[in-house]
Amino acid sequence: MKKIKILGIITMIFLVLIIVAFTVLALFGILKIETGEDGKTEISFAPLEEKNEFFEWQTSETEGDRTAVIKTEKGEIKIKLSETAAAEKFIELKNSGAFKNAEFSVLAENMFIQSTVPGENFEAEQNEFAAISGAVAFVMEKEEAAPSFIIITAEKLSGNSSAFLKNGAFDSERAEVYEKFGGIPEYEGKILVFGQVVSGMETVLEIAEKENSGYTGGYLAAEPEKIISIEISEPLPDEQ
């Protein structure tokens, strides 16, 4: 009887340890326990799931990135630049003087601010970056991009954006990114993201709050915010 009692205690301790281990793994996001549409419980381990490197770069603090600091009278906006052809084009435009005398002249409430930059459209290839809040992107026109760039200001999903996600436009990982960070998911394919605001988002939002002509007037700013300068900084050797 004593052996049976001891075995029962050991079994109980073992079950408790398993429950504790599963709880800790779930708290740290390593273990995911979800109930599917069929009512069945599904268990998966996050380390075994392939993470989208584009989302990881956009939504986490990273070091060793090239940055661009946009200076305005409202303040500075610091952007980290991706390792993409679109980011290279942004730098090329800056170096050619394309942004001289540019200004944020379109202020769409809870959507974006847009710069006015003259110049010819250029061929561009889409990437997997998301149009989340703080994303910096060129405006797409069919298969080409315009030199004009926007900064997404939607901190929360609008009703239209939420409905867009519920219609199953994206996989669960991409949908979760938008639900957590906001943005405009329906803009994917219409803009070409090349950067992400890392500081100065308060400046972006202050610019966005300036008076504009409203929806029927194209959201044109009553007093466009001038871009004083844009400075590109390369990472230091030990940061690469």
For 59, how many CA atoms within 13 A lie in the half-sphere containing its CB?
20
Measured from the Cβ of residue 118, the count of other Cβ atoms closer than 10 Å reads 10
**Four-CA torsion 27, 30, 32, 33, nearest 10 degrees:** -60
What DSSP string runs through 171-223?
-HHHHHHHHHH---GGGBTTEEEEEEEEE-HHHHHHHHTS-B--GGGTTEEEE
228 compared with 31, residue with greater pLDDT: 228
Window from 27-31, 90-94, 122-126 with minimum mean pLDDT: 27-31
Question: Can you tell me the mean pLDDT for 200-229?
Answer: 96
pLDDT given for residue 32 in this prediction = 54
For 109, how many CA atoms within 13 A lie in the half-sphere containing its CB?
9
- pLDDT tops 60 at residue 119: yes
Which domains can be identified in the chain, with CATH numbers? 2-48 (no CATH), 53-239 (2.40.100.10)
- pLDDT tops 80 at residue 10: no
- Report pTM: 0.77
pLDDT given for residue 48 in this prediction = 37
Question: Can you tell me the mean pLDDT for 185-204?
Answer: 96
Question: Can you tell me the mean pLDDT for 122-136?
Answer: 94
pLDDT grade for 64, boundaries at 50, 70 and 90: confident
- pLDDT tops 50 at residue 49: no
Q: Look over the chain and give the mean of its residue pLDDT values, rounded to a whole number.
A: 85
> In the numeric block, which tokens belong to residue 154?
């939607």
CB 102 within 8 A of CB 225: no
